[in-house]
Amino acid sequence: MSEWTLQQQDAIDARGRSIIVSAAAGSGKTSVLIERLIRIISDRENPVNIENMVVVTFTNAAAAEMKQRLSMALSRKLAENPSDRWLARQHAFLGMASISTIHSFCFNLIRDNITHLSLSADFRILDEAEEGLFSDTVLKSLIEEMYDKHPEDMKLLCDNFCTNNDSLLFNLILSLHKNVSAIPFYENWLKKLDGFYDSTMYEDMYMSGIKAKLSSCRENLGELIRIAEGLDEIKLCEMLDEDMNILNKASEHFEKGSFADMADYLMTVKFKSFPATKKDKIYPEEREYIRSKRTSVKEILQGFQKLKSIVVNVKDDCQRHKNIMHILSKLIKEYDKRLFEYKTEKNAVGFDDAEQITLQLLAQCDENGNIVKSLLGEEISQNYDIILVDEFQDSNDRQDMIFRLLSRNGNAESYGNNLFFVGDVKQSIYRFRQANPDNFINVAKMFAPYKKDDSSNACIKLSRNFRSSPQVIDFVNYVFRNIMSEKTGDINYDEDEFLVNGSSFFEYDRDTHIMLVDKSQDSEDAESLCIASKIREMIDNGVPVSDRDGKPRPCEMKDFCILLRNKKMNNVYEESLRKYGLEVNCEDVSGYLKSREISVLLNILRIIDNPLHDIALSSVMMSPMFMFTADDMAQLRLINKKAKLYNNLSAALGKADKPPLLDTESMLYQNGEKFYNLIAELRLAASFYTLSEMIQIIYDRTDFMSVVGLYKDADRKRANLRILLEYANSYESASGGGIGGFIRYIDRISESKGDFKSAGGSSSTQNSVSIKTMHKSKGLEFPFVFIAESDTAFSKQDERKPYQFSSDMGIGMRLQNKEKYERFKTVPYEVINSYNKNKAIGEEMRIMYVALTRAKERLFITLDISEKAARKAVEYSEDIYKNSGITPELAGSADSMSDWLVMALISHPKAAMLREHFGIYESFRYNDNFNLSFEKAEPYENYQEITDSTPEEKYEFDESAAQKLREAFDFRYDDSLVKVTSKLSVSDISKNDDTQLLLLKRPDFASDNGEMSAAEKGTALHSFLQFADFNRLEQDFEAEKDCMIKYGHITKKQGTAVKKEDIDAFLISDLYSEIKNASKIIRERKFLVSIEDLELDDEFGTLYEGTDGMIGGIMDMIIEKDDSVILVDYKTDKVEKASQLADRYRKQLLLYKKALEIIQKKPVQSAMIYSFFKKESVKVF
């Protein structure tokens, strides 16, 4: 940025103390971070060695970007001062700077201090799926042992958590371990649980909740009495007075006696029926309001009766909790110990392990259970002059303690003086990953407001938003000022948190636009069609949008983003957008394991393992690889309806020493024969090859990669298939269970609703409308953002769990009554559940904040105005009117984001249309007067599907055309030339011998201990050079390689075979200079040309003379010039001289040359071979 605000300048310049920067959305925090780092590392007067810095980012991509930007900034400074040795030193050591994710930092710290641990220095990093496999293996073994050695303990656990089997108990232990182990030095925390259960904490908190409900009932009844008195309804008043008497007596029993006394009293009470009214005294709206509110009060009071047993038994239940947790605590600790030992045996470390081990290096528990920094921790913390943490709001408790212990003069309880935290607690949306926004909140409260002349730790707020238009900012501030509070949302959204406009846009209508959609017709695409038509209309009308230089240009599809709470509706929105001729970019709904390409491949593995699996066999046979039709499958099934499909296929082909049941000339027989033989071949190969090798063989033998290339999103599908090789390798190294074991492992993951990570989509910037979940939109921005399906209900999944967990409140469980065969909620469960619900509501509120702040120019909000939505809106309006605003209790009662939007909007002065649709007529006090626009949304009818308006074409029968088709189908091929190969690769022709390729596995003694073969390494290098972005490669080899692995272009194993020194040598070669200066380069050019067109001579010309065969191959690279081309081939052969390669491959490249001249219609200027072994290029001709 050319000019910094005062607050940004303070964040850049502050030194000598710890700083936390609360950076609101769009406040330029990344630019501030980069500028601060640049100034620190280029400061000669207060020198800080770049290798003595720690910079922690949230993602690998963010770390790579930061490194690149620092490198470019240092390069610019060096260009200005080429003799500056300090800058040159810092630039040279940039590669050693610790700029990474927290996990990468922890792994590096572990390797640096490996002598203090029982690990080997070459440990490998576990992925989530493999770690799950380890966990299952260890826990199953432990539970079996517990049944043998501690049957009484296991009986107690089973009595409370098991039904038909112990799967619930198994999952309970896994889940509890995950939650508990996230607490630093969790053993201390487990010891404190007894104190929770021995105290009256849970009972006291529960009773406070009861008091609050009684108070709320009294307030509501008082309001209803006042309304009834105004209506002059005597019977209504009498009924409500009686209700108030019941409430007062119940409260008296509660205050002077106990909850049980109150419950007993309420069991004897009978509430009066709602009175009827005379026709001339009807007040329908007021009476309906009274009826609704009174029903809510009655339900609360009657509900107290059902809670009696829970409250009366609270002490017994707490004792049961205590007994159960003694056993579970021992189980969790033993499981944790064995799991780590198992991982150590496999020389593997998980991401959570990395944080735990780092804590063990930095600190230890003394004899009193206090966490103190270790001597090694003191030494490590002295190595770092600066510790900078980005996205601090997303840190978990373990990470927070790591930062404290790493800081100078810091300890387990307090922060040192060399930390720099950046984040925005309003964007903390990763609670499901155990992120704790309280860490950020507590530090911000602990640190004093920044003053230049003060040296104490300080807080700086960046509130100016440089991303969004004033209209977007006004709307965001208005909504969150009304709904977000410390009680509901964890912070008060006041002037300290308001976004302040810092951007300028050309004049145009950018008012937040509210689209009112009636969703009462149960049409799932009602909202999506309205949004699609609005986008189509804006594009067709050329609505202007700001270009990078701030000048207007017509909007395009890429300027639009639709944000959804989850991806369940992705397919609906994609279909609606395509109906309006719009291209779409969205995440696959199905997930990795259920994606079509992976499902088919896994089914092939299933039938290799067991061909009698009918569903898998049918799936594979009818897949695009083999193309069996439904009629084919029916014909095979009819052979024997009770037999397995594979047996029917075998009988149809005559494989059981019986004549075939099918005509051997039929298409079904011929296809079936090929398929049957392929499966037999693959089943035989499975005896020799590893799992990952078998998957590669399947790809090669079925040409599966090419088949999926015909489908939409082909790049991602191919990347998914390549990543499957990684998952197979991980499984083999962890288990070695072969194909059968791998399939069972996949099935276990699917049953537990788990999944593998899919390949990233294409990195290209396609001109399409984006559909994203609100979580995935974090860190992104779009000119136009649609908040869609905001009435998606908040997840209640956590409320159905068998236990509730909170590091602040302990563990509460749903226990089982064996006599009554029922599971019931306990007071600890209810108290912690209420606490967690409030935390979850705060998280949902922050997710909505992230979604709304993605918009640069204009926000679009869709709201349901059905009768059901109107009823809720009326209730909200009356509560808002009564309390002169949205109370934390009302905000906390929301079931969806649309509830909050409606709450905020119904009292806005510009929302008359919304209030009219909802039937709301209260006179609200208006504090805001910024503009909003509303419309009753309908699909844009001019863009109905083409099929709706295209008349059906009719065709007349053409006998001559039909005769030609009959002749074509009756044709029988003359096979006199079948002994001549019809399709050859160039390498086949260029071979000097007729060596046959055998399907045999390389023996174990020749496998280099699992290392890649020379051929595999060559393939890895070719794949790398095929997909690498050479510009990015010049800047950062490791970052580009990581990117290619992420997008599935190469596997991790292949990545290890690509060496930096090889690529560096290539980038400074003469050949690379030719590449850089080329007008165009073509990589991995596949070709298939007629042998006759090549005009071959010598023995090849004689052998293939008169044939119509084809020759195919792949050219590594073609360098295009104005009037000619250069052919490039990469080789990894080990040779004494590069010139040997020219002799070895001259014939092959001559064939390439002939084919290339046919394809490109340009002469081949020369052919070059680049030898990666000799690191030089050689001209062949």
User: Burial of 328 by CB count in 10 Å (0-12 exposed, 13-18 middle, 19+ buried)?
Assistant: buried
Q: Are 518 and 474 in contact (CB under 8 A)?
A: no
Taking the C-alpha atoms of residue 795 and residue 844, their distance in angstroms, rounded to an integer, is 10
Average pLDDT over residues 368-392: 93
Taking the C-alpha atoms of residue 328 and residue 161, their distance in angstroms, rounded to an integer, is 12
Average pLDDT over residues 406-428: 95
* Per-residue pLDDT, 760: 55
Lowest mean pLDDT segment, chosen from 102-106, 854-858, 1015-1019, 1058-1062: 1015-1019
Q: Are 460 and 447 in contact (CB under 8 A)?
A: no
- What secondary structure letter does DSSP report for 531? H
Taking the C-alpha atoms of residue 1119 and residue 936, their distance in angstroms, rounded to an integer, is 57
* Per-residue pLDDT, 1018: 83
For 147-177, what is each residue's pLDDT tens digit?
999 999 999 999 888 877 788 899 899 999 9
The CATH number of whichever domain residue 576 belongs to comes to 3.40.50.300
Residue 1163 resides in a domain: yes
CA triple 763-434-126, angle to 5 deg:
60
Percent of the chain at pLDDT > 70 equals: 90
Residue 823 domain boundaries: 500-587+776-936
The CATH number of whichever domain residue 191 belongs to comes to 1.10.274.50
Domain final position from 936, 955, 975 = 936
Length of the chain: 1181
Contacts of 1019 (CB under 8 A, 6+ apart): 1054
* Per-residue pLDDT, 38: 93
Taking the C-alpha atoms of residue 931 and residue 909, their distance in angstroms, rounded to an integer, is 9
* Per-residue pLDDT, 1095: 72
166: its two tokens: 């112990």
pLDDT band at 6 (very low <50, low <70, confident <90, very high): very high
Taking the C-alpha atoms of residue 846 and residue 493, their distance in angstroms, rounded to an integer, is 11
Q: Are 565 and 773 in contact (CB under 8 A)?
A: yes
Q: Are 361 and 106 in contact (CB under 8 A)?
A: no
* Per-residue pLDDT, 1108: 54
* Per-residue pLDDT, 738: 82
Do 656 and 738 sit in the same domain of this protein? yes
* Per-residue pLDDT, 834: 93
Do 1162 and 1095 sit in the same domain of this protein? yes
Average pLDDT over residues 203-207: 92
CA triple 14-15-16, angle to 5 deg:
140
Which 3 state secondary structure label does DSSP give 853? coil
* Per-residue pLDDT, 141: 93
Amino acid identity, residue 180? V
Do 657 and 681 sit in the same domain of this protein? yes
pLDDT band at 7 (very low <50, low <70, confident <90, very high): very high
Do 796 and 746 sit in the same domain of this protein? no
- What secondary structure letter does DSSP report for 939? -
Lowest mean pLDDT segment, chosen from 369-373, 623-627, 754-758, 942-946: 942-946
Taking the C-alpha atoms of residue 404 and residue 457, their distance in angstroms, rounded to an integer, is 13
Alpha helix stretches (DSSP H) within 896-1001: 897-905, 912-918, 946-949, 959-970, 986-990
* Per-residue pLDDT, 951: 46
For 302-338, what is each residue's pLDDT tens digit?
989 888 878 888 888 999 999 999 999 999 999 999 9
User: Burial of 149 by CB count in 10 Å (0-12 exposed, 13-18 middle, 19+ buried)?
Assistant: exposed
Task: Choose the most confident range, by mean pLDDT, from 66-70, 118-122, 891-895.
Answer: 891-895
**Tokens 């063989």 sit on residue:** 697
Of residues 763 and 1112, the one with the higher pLDDT is 1112
Strand partners, 1179: 1168
Residue 705 resides in a domain: yes
Domain final position from 735, 751, 767 = 751
Average pLDDT over residues 68-97: 90
* Per-residue pLDDT, 751: 66
The CATH number of whichever domain residue 632 belongs to comes to 1.10.486.10
Do 816 and 829 sit in the same domain of this protein? yes
Residue 530 resides in a domain: yes
- What is the DSSP code string of 252-277? HHHHHT-HHHHHHHHHT--PPPPPP-
Smallest Cα–Cα separation from 21: which of 408, 400, 440?
A: 440
Taking the C-alpha atoms of residue 1077 and residue 1079, their distance in angstroms, rounded to an integer, is 7
Sign of CA dihedral 861, 866, 869, 874: positive
Q: Looking at the predicted structure, is the pLDDT value of residue 287 above 50?
A: yes
Residue 475 resides in a domain: no
How far lies 1015's CA from each of 715, 1131, 1134, 1145, in Å?
A: 24, 10, 12, 16
* Average pLDDT value over all residues in the chain: 86
* Per-residue pLDDT, 985: 53
Taking the C-alpha atoms of residue 658 and residue 661, their distance in angstroms, rounded to an integer, is 9
Taking the C-alpha atoms of residue 705 and residue 721, their distance in angstroms, rounded to an integer, is 8
Taking the C-alpha atoms of residue 938 and residue 936, their distance in angstroms, rounded to an integer, is 7
949: its two tokens: 């308006």
Do 909 and 854 sit in the same domain of this protein? yes
Domain final position from 438, 462, 486 = 462
185: its two tokens: 């030095």
514: left (phi over 0), alpha (psi -120 to 50) or beta: beta
Residue 891 resides in a domain: yes
Taking the C-alpha atoms of residue 114 and residue 119, their distance in angstroms, rounded to an integer, is 7
Task: Choose the most confident range, by mean pLDDT, from 436-445, 625-634, 913-922.
Answer: 436-445
- End-to-end CA distance of the chain, in Å? 53
Strands 1176-1179 and 1164-1171: antiparallel
Q: Report residue 516: phi and psi, to 5°.
A: -95, 120
For 695-752, what is each residue's pLDDT tens digit?
888 888 888 888 887 776 777 788 888 888 888 887 777 666 788 888 887 877 776 6
* Per-residue pLDDT, 763: 40
Strands 810-817 and 803-806: antiparallel
Strand partners, 382: none
pLDDT band at 961 (very low <50, low <70, confident <90, very high): confident
- What secondary structure letter does DSSP report for 767? S
Q: Looking at the predicted structure, is the pLDDT value of residue 954 above 60?
A: no
Q: Provide the whole-model pTM.
A: 0.76
Q: Looking at the predicted structure, is the pLDDT value of residue 1006 above 50?
A: no
Count CB-CB contacts under 10 A for residue 436: 23
12: its two tokens: 């850049």
| Greatest distance between any 2 Cα atoms in the chain | 115
Do 327 and 184 sit in the same domain of this protein? yes
Q: What is the number of domains present in the chain?
A: 5
Taking the C-alpha atoms of residue 665 and residue 973, their distance in angstroms, rounded to an integer, is 13
User: Burial of 379 by CB count in 10 Å (0-12 exposed, 13-18 middle, 19+ buried)?
Assistant: exposed
**Tokens 């203090």 sit on residue:** 116
How far lies 1181's CA from each of 574, 1150, 1165, in Å?
A: 53, 9, 9
**Tokens 């770390």 sit on residue:** 63
Residue 480 resides in a domain: no
Do 334 and 363 sit in the same domain of this protein? no
* Per-residue pLDDT, 441: 96
Taking the C-alpha atoms of residue 376 and residue 380, their distance in angstroms, rounded to an integer, is 6
- What is the DSSP code string of 664-693? TTSHHHHHHHHHHHHHHHHHHHTTTS-HHH
Lowest mean pLDDT segment, chosen from 16-30, 810-824, 1063-1077: 810-824
* Per-residue pLDDT, 993: 39
How far lies 149's CA from each of 142, 333, 416, in Å?
A: 10, 17, 48
Q: Looking at the predicted structure, is the pLDDT value of residue 1128 above 50?
A: yes
Of residues 126 and 923, the one with the higher pLDDT is 126
Residue 307 resides in a domain: no
Do 662 and 616 sit in the same domain of this protein? yes
Residue 117 resides in a domain: yes
* Per-residue pLDDT, 765: 47
Of residues 996 and 1076, the one with the higher pLDDT is 1076
Q: H/E element holding 717? A: helix 714-734
Which 3 state secondary structure label does DSSP give 561? strand
Please report how many Cα atoms fall inside a 13 Å half-sphere around the Cα of residue 594, on the Cβ side. Answer: 10
Do 554 and 616 sit in the same domain of this protein? no
Do 81 and 183 sit in the same domain of this protein? no
* Per-residue pLDDT, 1008: 46
Count CB-CB contacts under 10 A for residue 44: 9
Do 399 and 458 sit in the same domain of this protein? yes
Of residues 804 and 1, the one with the higher pLDDT is 804
Taking the C-alpha atoms of residue 263 and residue 258, their distance in angstroms, rounded to an integer, is 9
For 601-618, what is each residue's pLDDT tens digit?
999 999 999 999 999 999
Q: H/E element holding 771? A: strand 769-773
679: its two tokens: 């499966």
Average pLDDT over residues 534-539: 96
Which 3 state secondary structure label does DSSP give 101? strand
Taking the C-alpha atoms of residue 864 and residue 515, their distance in angstroms, rounded to an integer, is 9
The CATH number of whichever domain residue 991 belongs to comes to 3.90.320.10
